[in-house]
Amino acid sequence: MSTRNHHPRRSHGWALAAAACITLGLGAAACGKKDEEKKPAKAAAKAPAKPKTEAAPAISGIQVLDAAKKFFSPLPERADSATNPITPEKVALGRALYYDARLSKNQDIACNNCHKLDGFGVDNEKTSPGHKGQRGDRNSPTVLNAATHFVQFWDGRAADVEEQALGPILNPVEMAMPSEDAVLKVLKSIPGYADMFAAAFPGEGDPITYKNVGLAIGAFERGLITPSPFDDFLKGNVTALPPDALRGLQLFIDAGCTNCHTGPNLGGTMYQKLGSVKEYKTEDEGRFKITNNEADKHSFKVPGLRNVTRTSPYLHDGSAATLDDVLNIMAEYQTAKGKLDDDERRYLHAFLETLNGTVDEEYVRKPELPESGPKTPAPDPS
């Protein structure tokens, strides 16, 4: 999801043309009045002074902070879950499963293919390639900070990251495993996973279950939190954001972006219709596919904005290629403001840059995966 803002310089070509016209006019007058006494030539008209660039409006970090605290809060250190207690052993297992392509039919696609942990949790594709190169109809959102969202997927069909993690494995367009049993057959054929599941789920007679796959991956993903300068600002450091970022944050609030983008992730707290103030044409019916409720047509989960300048392309279908594209769309179709000028886009860019953070490299480093056993099924490209 670089910020390229070009401010065209005023052309002074018209001044040269004006001078040429004056010269030609004087020449014509001289030819028509040869017998008249020549008058002293007038001094050439001076080009008008270049208008001064208006200074950016003054901004108070303290006042902006007071306003921001009404809508946002710092990210938690970890997105804990009461139903999935996190342990080091469960996280280690989840990390391995996240990177293990043997959870896919042809053993060539892992969670990390579409949600790259060295690429801000995305693959920067409009839609992600799956089994046999198939592509779905929706953009793969970032996995970073996703555990702070109130639901998962664009249409909210999964309640949490534990449930979400299991969906792509069985999706015929994505990882394409034919059944839960097929997944468990692979995992139980890999000797090293026996000890890892036992350590992650102590006391269970048969810990290698499909549900536990989701619990382990979910436990790992709950640690994919990316604090940034914006969190320092929310905690009271008013110098954490530069002046243009403060202006962007104030604009973000004043324009009503906070009607949807709130909370620690600046989104992920509600559904919203795409085209709430002006009709936006999209064939995707959004949450309607899940609820069959007319009111949910073209409604999607509001995406979080953490790391948004690094997670292009944007929107549910990846149709907004650049950050400027999606800012313009949001201004026109989601707010009463209607459009943004160059300075406003620059301020918003500066603010959104302060939402960029990273996860500890050791936490996301690909582990050495347990070796396949003699009974591990071969890849199936069919």
174, 221, 279, 294: the catalytic one is 174
Q: What is the per-residue pLDDT across 206-220, written as a single tens digit (0 to 9) for each? A: 999 999 999 999 999
- What pLDDT is recorded for position 47? 52
Mean pLDDT of 76-86: 98
Closest to 252 in 3D by CA, of 142, 349, 146: 349
Q: How confident is the model over 291-305, as a mean pLDDT?
A: 97
Q: How many Å apart are CA 173 and CA 344, to the nearest integer?
A: 40
Under a CB-based contact definition with an 8 Å cutoff, are residues 130 and 186 in contact?
no
pLDDT in tens, 117-150: 999 999 999 999 999 999 999 999 999 999 999 9
Has 353 been annotated as catalytic?
Answer: no
Q: Mean of the pLDDT values across residues 265-280?
A: 96
User: Which residue type, as a one-letter code, is found at position 154?
Assistant: W
pLDDT at 373: 98
Residue 304 backbone phi and psi in degrees, to 5 = -75, 155
**251, two tokens:** 């604009």
Whole-number average pLDDT of the chain = 89
Q: Containing H/E element for 90?
A: helix 88-99
Q: Give the pLDDT of residue 53.
A: 52
Strand partners, 314: 320
- pLDDT surpasses 90 at 16: no
pLDDT at 225: 98
Of the candidates 81, 94, 213, 197, which has an alpha carbon nearest to the alpha carbon of residue 148?
Answer: 81
pLDDT in tens, 25-35: 333 333 333 34
Q: What is the mean pLDDT of residues 66-90?
A: 98
Residue 1 has pLDDT above 50, yes or no: no
- pLDDT at res. 56: 78
Q: Rg for the chain (alpha carbons), in Å?
A: 29
Give the H or E element holding residue 271: strand 271-273
Taking residue 279's Cβ as centre, other Cβ atoms within 10 Å add up to 11
> What are the C-alpha distances in Å from 336 to residues 90, 277, 329?
47, 7, 12
**Cβ atoms 324, 308 nearer than 8 A:** no
Q: Which pLDDT does position 57 carry in this prediction?
A: 74
Percent of residues, the chain, with pLDDT higher than 70? 86
State the pLDDT at residue 286: 97
Q: Which domains does the chain have, with CATH numbers?
A: 61-75+227-304+308-353 (1.10.760.10), 88-225 (1.10.760.10)
Three-class SS of 298-348: CEEECCCCCCHHHCCCECCCCCECCHHHHHHHHHHHHCCCCCCCHHHHHHH
Would you call 360 exposed, middle or buried from its count of C-beta atoms within 10 A (0-12, 13-18, 19+)? Answer: exposed
DSSP state of 326: H
State the pLDDT confidence band at 316, using cuts at 50, 70 and 90.
very high
The model's pTM = 0.85
Please say if the pLDDT value at position 272 is more than 70.
Answer: yes
Q: What's the pLDDT score for residue 2?
A: 39
The predicted model gives 38-54 an average pLDDT of 49
